[in-house]
Each structure stands twice: as structure tokens, then as C-alpha cells.
Amino acid sequence: MAKPNRVRDEHTIYLDMPFTRQALVEAVLSAKIVPKDVLELQAGRSTTVLIAEDNKVNQKLAKWHLERLGCNVKLATSGYECLDLWQRQPFDLILMDVQMPEMSGLDACREIRRLEKGSRHTPIVALTASALDEDRERCLQAGMDDFIPKPFREQDLKRVLALHVVQQEQEPEAAGV
């Protein structure tokens, strides 16, 4: 019987072969080994994240964690404000609360996906207090790339940054673009 993926200490990681990119990222993050460039884009600029969240406490917490990780952070308090900021500047990642006033996170995500047809895909990660499978499915059907249940931890943010920002930056290089 195969042994599960595990971390022996902060410098040794064991993975069963074959392993997925997801398993590797989770093993590295659980070992607290986060290379400095995990959160730095290949062009040498820092990662820019848009947080679309109407709750001030959640905004401050996410912003604090992301800034500790070296990210530049912009804040939006509604789906409309998120959409407006997204149209004005490119973001490496959007963290989107699902339930916001005026325009929900699901509706804002659908509109972003409609507008970005044929252009660069912006990863959008749902932030929601609802962690049921059907809630996750609704988020994915709306066009979101991932899902973080609230309350979230810094580890959750590291995971989505590693999976969606670093992966997005490395894929064109791997293709020789």
C-alpha cells in the first residue's frame, strides 16, 4: 500500500509518484517552504490582487495577509466597484465575496467572464461563508476558478496564489512564448 504524501521536517517533502501539481503545492505550503519568488511574478513586479468584499473586517484581514506575502492590494466593496476597477487595470487575482450588495460576486464574475472573451483570463477565487458542495458548484458554474471558505487562513491565500498566479505566469514560459 502506498504511503500518503507527507512532510518529514521543514526541509524534506515526500510525494507518492505520480503526483499532481496540486499535491506538490500543498506539500510545499504545509512544510512552510515558500520560495521567495512564489509570490513574485516572473517579470519582477509584485502580485496585484483585487479583494471584492463588503465586510470591513474581512477586507482588513485579507489585505493584511496578502501584504505580508508581498502583494499589492486594491479593495472593492461591491460587484459594481470590482467590475469598474477590473476594467481600469489588470489584476493577477481577484478574491470575490459571493454575497455583496448591489451586484453579487457571482454576477460580477459572470460579467467579467463575458467581457474578457478572447483576452487574458483573470483568476477569480470565491470567498464565502457557505462551504457546501452546492455552493462551490455555483461558484464554479459562474466562472470562478477556485473557492475559499470563510473564515480563511493565510495558508488558504498562499495556496490560491501558488496555484493561480504562479501557474499562470509559468505556463507561457513552458510553452516557449
What's the pLDDT tens digit per position in 58-94? 999 999 999 888 899 999 999 999 999 999 999 999 9
H runs (alpha helix) in the chain: 21-30, 56-68, 79-88, 105-115, 133-141, 154-160, 167-174
Has residue 128 got a pLDDT over 90? no
Has residue 96 got a pLDDT over 60? yes
What mean pLDDT is predicted for residues 149-166? 86
Q: What is the three-class DSSP state of 97? A: strand
What pLDDT, on the 0 to 100 scale, is given for residue 150?
87
Spatial distance between the Cα atoms of 15 and 18, rounded to a whole number of angstroms: 8
Contact (Cβ atoms closer than 8 angstroms) between residue 125 and residue 143: no
Domain 35-174 has CATH 3.40.50.2300: yes
pTM recorded for the entire structure: 0.73
C-alpha cell at 91: 489584476
Of the candidates 33, 23, 145, 41, the residue with the CA atom closest to the CA atom of residue 95: 145
Split at pLDDT 50, 70, 90, the class of 28 is low
For the chain, which residues make up each domain, given as ranges? 1-33, 35-174
Left, alpha or beta for 57 (phi > 0: left; psi -120 to 50: alpha)? Answer: alpha
Amino acid at 51: I
